[in-house]
Amino acid sequence: HPWETVTTAAMQKYPNPMNPSVVGVDVLDRHVDPTGKLHSHRLLSTEWGIPSIVKSLIGTSRTKTYVQEHSVVDPVKKTMELKSSNISFTNLVSVDERLVYKPHPHNPDKTILTQEAIISVKGVSLSSYLEGLMANTISSNANKGREALEWVINRLNAEIEEFTASARGTMRNSMAAAAFVEK
Amino acid sequence: MNSVGEACTELKREYDQCFNRWFAEKFLKGESGGDPCGQLFKRYQLCVQKAIKEKEIPIEGLEFMGPSKGKTENST
């Protein structure tokens, strides 16, 4: 998909069926910097399906994990960079992720994503096991992320089709529908 | 999609709709002049900031956490 489509979908990534644990998304800050890049700071709340008996012991406010995400979109250079790190009450494991979306250098209808994750675990004995486990999860999540964006793109396209179908029915002039045509 | 503060979800939805439209139709096409969503954003922000304080979510490096946190942040 072209970069504009992927970037628009990435801004509306949640909810989607591939990430059912994300239960809340909020924008903490957003501004366009002097060079024209859009910065967004978002807070994602995730809920991992902890058994209710555990919840009743530790309280529901502690069952959510929060992820802080900073994204920068450069509409001139056509890059979107996302950095996220998890915030939790325990800070035992921290995961920092960095994703960059750019148009494919040879095919403008495609977008390239590069993704890296840095996992840090405090406490020695389980660290290499946990890191191995999380590394596997993160690489399968990379695929899931792509599927999630495909899903969002399909949803947006379906909305556009519905809109243009009803617009054709009520308006002769198709200029209004053209405002939403995908590149 | 809900907000972290349950009361803020409606404000969030209104803001999101405005932002998504501006982003796809103006910003990505190189017309970033005039963000039409400023008012909606302010109202939504006030609600979210309150919710975060109430839930004591430990977010670092954000101005609105107040001077007691002792953090510095570039002002935007």
Contact yes or no for A32 and B25 at CB 8 A: no
Comparison of pLDDT for A170 and A52, the residue scoring more: A52
pLDDT confidence bin for A55, thresholds 50/70/90: low
Q: Is B16 on the interface with A (CB under 8 A)?
A: yes
Tell me which residue has tokens 């501004």: A31
The answer to whether position B29 is within a domain reads yes
Query: pTM of the prediction?
Result: 0.71
Which residue segment(s) compose the domain that A135 sits in? 3-182
- Which residue on chain B is closest to A73 by alpha carbon? B28
The answer to whether position B44 is within a domain reads yes
The answer to whether position B42 is within a domain reads yes
Q: Which long-range contacts (CB under 8 A, 24 or more apart) does A11-15 make?
A: A11/A40, A11/A71, A11/B19, A11/B20, A11/B23, A12/A152, A12/A156, A12/B16, A12/B20, A13/A148, A13/A149, A13/A152, A14/A44, A14/B1, A15/B1
Looking up residue A67, the CATH number of its domain turns out to be 3.30.530.20
pLDDT average, residue stretch A95-120: 86
Give the pLDDT confidence of A7-41 residue by residue, as tens digits: 999 999 998 888 888 889 999 999 999 999 999 99
Residue A182: predicted pLDDT = 39
pLDDT average, residue stretch A41-49: 85
pLDDT average, residue stretch A73-84: 94
Residue B69: predicted pLDDT = 35
Other beta carbons within 10 angstroms of residue A36's beta carbon come to 14
Q: Looking at A15-173, list the stretches that DSSP marks H as alpha helix, in order from N- to C-terminal side.
A: 52-58, 127-170
Name the amino acid, one letter, at A109: D
Residue B11: predicted pLDDT = 94
Residue B41: predicted pLDDT = 94
* Per-residue tokens: A126: 């389980």
The three-class DSSP label of residue A29 is strand
Could you tell me the mean pLDDT of each successive run of 10 residues in chain B, 76 residues long? 88 94 90 82 93 81 39 42
Residues 6+ apart with CB under 8 A from A78: A3, A102, A103
pLDDT at A183 over 50: no
Q: Is A8 on the interface with B (CB under 8 A)?
A: yes
- A42 sits in which H/E element: strand A38-47
Residues 6+ apart with CB under 8 A from A117: A95, A96, A97, A98, A135, A138
The answer to whether position B61 is within a domain reads no
CA distance A36 to chain B (A): 8
The answer to whether position B26 is within a domain reads yes
Asked if residues A112 and A93 have their Cβ atoms less than 8 Å apart, the reply is no
Name the amino acid, one letter, at A59: G
Which residue segment(s) compose the domain that B21 sits in? 6-55
The answer to whether position B19 is within a domain reads yes
Residue ranges of E strands in A88-132: 93-103, 111-121
pLDDT confidence bin for A93, thresholds 50/70/90: low
CA distance A45 to chain B (A): 7
Residue A175: predicted pLDDT = 47
The alpha carbon of B57 is separated from its chain's Cα centroid by a whole number of angstroms, namely 15
Q: Which sign does the torsion angle of CA A104, A109, A111, A112 carry?
A: negative
- Which residue on chain A is closest to B42 by alpha carbon? A29
Residue A120: predicted pLDDT = 67
- Which residue on chain A is closest to B12 by alpha carbon? A26
The answer to whether position B76 is within a domain reads no
Q: Is A118 on the interface with B (CB under 8 A)?
A: no
Give the pLDDT confidence of A109-168 residue by residue, as tens digits: 999 998 887 766 664 344 566 667 767 777 777 788 888 888 888 888 888 777 777 766
Domain tally for chain A?
1
Contact yes or no for A41 and B28 at CB 8 A: no
Q: Residues of B with CB below 8 A from A75's CB?
A: 27-30, 32
